[in-house]
Amino acid sequence: MLVGIGLMPHGNPVLEPPDGETRKLAEVLRKIGEKLRDVDAYILISPHNVRMSDHLGVVLAENLISWLGFEGKELPGEWKTDRELAEKVYRTEKGAEMPVVGLNFAALRGEYSRWPLSWGELIPLQFLERKPLVIITPARNVSRETLVKFGEVLGDVIDTDKRRIALIISADHGHAHDEDGPYGYRKESEEYDRLIMRLINENRLEELLKIPEKLVKNALVDSYWQMLIMLGAMRKAEFELEGSAYACPTYFGMAGALWVRKN
């Protein structure tokens, strides 16, 4: 059963907050970890693992190994894939005619079935109790409707499982908040980030589907596609927002939010 959802950033500043807003964001992330510490497994959707233009991926490799930090930040560790759940997600999504592939490396099972983790997974995992994982990768050239449908199917898979499962959405938002940053300044980054926080705090997530494509593109976001998957999964039950925060200490915006199941 899907018991909770955490929207979590993957930027280094949340690990060592440089200002008050980022400290508040880190507090929300710690709250997510505390609230979800008793779950049996996580499904983590990350935009910084395998990048495929028109297919989503479900990682089936058994061993998940820290490999790629961001800006020199090393976060070592190993995690295990919940192989049974990962295979069920893959088979069910494939059966629903979703554009999905199963991902493995080196060996189908055992010690040599290994998969690398990037900062997109590692930073959220620093706030979570160590549990078995299922890593899913979104795709930007898949239609909005397909991403939401993928999330609905994912929600069905989770709810047919007797265990307590949490969905973790790894996401940063607009990447052009600073003239001196790598992408310069674009007003659309601020506009998109303000809108996302309104939709979160006012329980208007269905309006994600109405965000103009031009705004998503020009804001240089790293969140929209996995949030559409989240929206689909959330349609399967009622969820209550228990906390949210936003910070932008560098050139990209970061948000955290925790939803818990009401029924």
Domain containing 207 equals 2-261
CATH number for the domain spanning 84: value is 3.40.830.10
- The total of other beta-carbon atoms located within 10 Å of residue 242's CB is 14
Residue 147 has pLDDT above 90, yes or no: yes
Whole-angstrom Cα distance, residue 13 to residue 92? 37
Question: Which residue in 1, 10, 3, 2 sits closest to 169, CA to CA?
Answer: 10
Tokens for 125, please give them.
């995992």
pLDDT of residue 162: 95
Predicted TM-score (pTM) above 0.85: yes
Task: Give rounded-to-5 percent helix, strand, coil for the chain.
Answer: 35, 25, 40
| Domains: count for the chain | 1
pLDDT of residue 175: 98
pLDDT tens column, 219-258: 999 999 999 999 999 998 999 999 999 999 999 999 999 9
In the block, residue with structure tokens 């009401």: 262
Query: How does the average pLDDT of the chain come out, rounded?
Result: 97
**Average pLDDT of the residues in 180-202:** 97
Tokens for 77, please give them.
């560790």
